[in-house]
Amino acid sequence: MASLDRLNEGALSTAAQLAFYDPANGADRRASIAALIALIQSSLTESGDLVTQYASPNATGFSVTVAPPSTGANVHLLMTPLAGYAAGTVVMPASPVDGQQVVVTSTQAVTTLTVSGNGASVNGAPTTLAANGYFRLRYDQINNSFNRIG
């Protein structure tokens, strides 16, 4: 094995390749620095970093799907319904990442609220949402569940 001081120095760019060992496949692999950056950014997302998603339901029986701009991003779903509605559904992200958080707020009341886990279970989800009310869910990969934390 060559020591680092014997390697030629090269320009570093996001297209440059890095070697790594993949224990899942038991083999050496390579990945671009861009892929490494994306992995690090998704792992370092703080619970306070929320990307806002806007929804303006215009009828009772609405359904809004939480759609993070990148896998694992924490989302603040800001709903501004035209009026208070009798029923509505919030659908969690399809491919959640461990620790991912979703905060849902609504400027109007939703009398009967359904929170769909989109393949995951949901523990502690509210069944109604008051005007200017909110709730926060956090995904747990081991249990494949969204759990209410606020």
| pLDDT digits 0-9 by tens, 55-104 | 999 999 999 999 999 889 999 999 999 999 999 999 999 999 999 999 99
CA quadruple 128, 131, 133, 137: dihedral sign: positive
- B/e letters for 2-26, b = 16+ CB within 10 Å, e = fewer, are eeeeeeeeeeeeeeeeeeeeeeeee
| pLDDT digits 0-9 by tens, 3-51 | 767 777 777 777 878 787 888 778 888 888 777 777 776 555 454 589 9
Q: Does 146 have pLDDT greater than 60?
A: yes
CA quadruple 60, 147, 131, 78: dihedral sign: negative
Which pLDDT score is estimated for 14? 76
Q: Can you list the alpha helix ranges (DSSP code H) found in 21-143? A: 33-43
Which pLDDT score is estimated for 144? 97
